[in-house]
Copies of this chain bind each other. A is one copy, B any other.
């Protein structure tokens, strides 16, 4: 969840600097989830996300149960983006005394059941503003897929169409809370795919992240972490979404990953929606193009990109 764009990224880097690095191969701040040794030596994934009413969600357009769902979905997505499986959730709620906790908890527990990832603890306290924080643990069956492993020549893939959540938000603003079209549902209840993350690993993915802040922003973080550039061709635009929404809309929670040119990617996704190749990593990290045009001059996502 990124409400403050590049500023947030810089501040997180500051925390990373103050906190100091972990000893490799453990991974701390800066990827979708941390990778640490758990009890008895297994790898443990850890992530947390915060949702603030009025900042990440307009409660005149979505209900509290959907807000709870989204808080869980954002965390599940962070684990999926490492190639892991979510296992347990901690939920903390700070909110005004008149918050409809039953409704909020229902959305949280709906999501927890969907991903078989039980809520095992948390905290509740009063606050003038509703702030929901979810932390998640996850397991890995193999090495974590980091943002930093992409190499020049790798193909760039996404695991689903983009822009649906942003299109849904636009629809909700036009039609109001009652909107029932598919993008509205995608906005209210995004469905990150743990299976897609596992398939990406199966396909030999060299790097991966989730589209939480928008494709260009998130792929940009991946490219920066990997020290590569990228050239994009056509990106799959969700039904009802615009190209701009597909490029810069956040909260789609599809995965973007890279894999070597010869990898049998489609075969690894048998039984799941087919991933779509959208581009190629290049050696020059300053190259970031869409259909040949430099990205900084295309479309309306500069507010997130800069």
Is the pair B50, A126 in contact by a Cβ cutoff of 8 Å?
Answer: no
* A292 contacts the other chain (CB 8 A): no
Question: Given that A38-B40, A129-B129, A135-B135 are known contacts, is A101 also in contact with B52, CB under 8 Å in the complex?
Answer: no
Is the pair A39, B133 in contact by a Cβ cutoff of 8 Å?
Answer: no
Cα–Cα distance between A122 and B42 once the two chains are bound (Å):
21
The minimal Cβ–Cβ distance linking A204 to chain B, given in whole angstroms, is 23
Is the pair B124, A127 in contact by a Cβ cutoff of 8 Å?
Answer: no
Cα–Cα distance between A39 and B87 once the two chains are bound (Å):
9
* A177 contacts the other chain (CB 8 A): no
Question: Given that A22-B118, A29-B119, A36-B88 are known contacts, is A128 also in contact with B129, CB under 8 Å in the complex?
Answer: yes
The minimal Cβ–Cβ distance linking A282 to chain B, given in whole angstroms, is 30
Question: Given that A20-B118, A42-B42, A118-B22 are known contacts, is A3 also in contact with B48, CB under 8 Å in the complex?
Answer: no
- Note all chain B residues with C-beta closer than 8 A to A91: 15, 48
The count of chain A contact residues (Cβ–Cβ below 8 Å) is 69
Question: Given that A48-B133, A105-B18 are known contacts, is A38 also in contact with B39, CB under 8 Å in the complex?
Answer: yes
- Note all chain B residues with C-beta closer than 8 A to A118: 19-20, 22, 28
* A2 contacts the other chain (CB 8 A): yes
What is A's interface to B at a CB cutoff of 8 Å?
Answer: 1-4, 7-8, 11-12, 14-15, 18-20, 22, 26-29, 33-34, 36, 38-44, 46-50, 52, 54-56, 87-88, 90-94, 97, 101-102, 105-106, 109, 112, 118-129, 131, 133, 135, 137, 139-140
Given contacts A15-B105, A34-B90, 16 further A-B contacts (CB under 8 A): A1-B125, A3-B126, A7-B97, A18-B106, A20-B118, A22-B118, A34-B120, A34-B121, A38-B39, A38-B137, A39-B43, A46-B120, A52-B131, A54-B128, A127-B129, A129-B129
Cα–Cα distance between A125 and B11 once the two chains are bound (Å):
10
- Note all chain B residues with C-beta closer than 8 A to A3: 125-126
Q: List 17 A-B contacts (CB under 8 A).
A: A15-B101, A15-B105, A19-B112, A20-B109, A38-B40, A40-B41, A46-B121, A48-B90, A48-B122, A49-B92, A50-B94, A52-B126, A54-B128, A123-B133, A128-B128, A128-B129, A129-B131
Report the nearest B residue to A135, measured CB to CB.
B135
The minimal Cβ–Cβ distance linking A115 to chain B, given in whole angstroms, is 13
Is the pair A39, B47 in contact by a Cβ cutoff of 8 Å?
Answer: no
Is the pair A8, B124 in contact by a Cβ cutoff of 8 Å?
Answer: yes
Question: Given that A120-B28, A126-B55 are known contacts, is A38 also in contact with B36, CB under 8 Å in the complex?
Answer: no
Is the pair A39, B139 in contact by a Cβ cutoff of 8 Å?
Answer: yes
Is the pair A33, B126 in contact by a Cβ cutoff of 8 Å?
Answer: no
Contact pick for A131, options B22, B27, B42, B94, CB 8 Å: B94
- Note all chain B residues with C-beta closer than 8 A to A7: 97
Cα–Cα distance between A46 and B105 once the two chains are bound (Å):
19
Cα–Cα distance between A106 and B20 once the two chains are bound (Å):
12
- Note all chain B residues with C-beta closer than 8 A to A11: 101, 124
